Structure 1
């Protein structure tokens, strides 16, 4: 069993949709066994995967947590497909210097 975490610029809803495409029937073929607002659970192949997403504020990156049993390599691959968090642009960094 493995628990992994990453941050991304995607919203919680976008992460859940991507997780379903990656792990679900059209992806790796796992069955969706539970779905909540910011979490989706898959089962099959003798294991399970739980993907959850949380964003603390609109401008913050979304934290994605993947807990996998028997699907550890797939969990790592899924996280590697997500874009990283947005970085502040040069103008935002310049403004920060003068605060």
Structure 2
């Protein structure tokens, strides 16, 4: 079980990282996770308002942020955020399924 948010985890990794290339990759992921969290918050608001029509798009944007972060570490044998990116991706897929169930569209 993850004990801190991914944004906090990225901040800790940034403090411990000395290589500029690795640091830049982590900064990319930091921005990606800010965007993903923002879109997931919007998706929750969409669910709470029972409109549901923005949910799939918002989940898609958050999912793309996960992909972008993962791509930032392409070529690295053990990306530091691999499992967290996978978790975010699965969460976004759940949001897309929920949107389909409520709206009947895909």
Q: Same fold (TM over 0.5)?
A: no
Higher helix residue share: 2
TM class by smaller structure? 0.3 to 0.5
Structure showing greater relative contact order (alpha-carbon pairs closer than 8 Å, 6 or more residues apart): 1
Q: TM-score, normalised by structure 1?
A: 0.40
Q: TM-score, normalised by structure 2?
A: 0.38
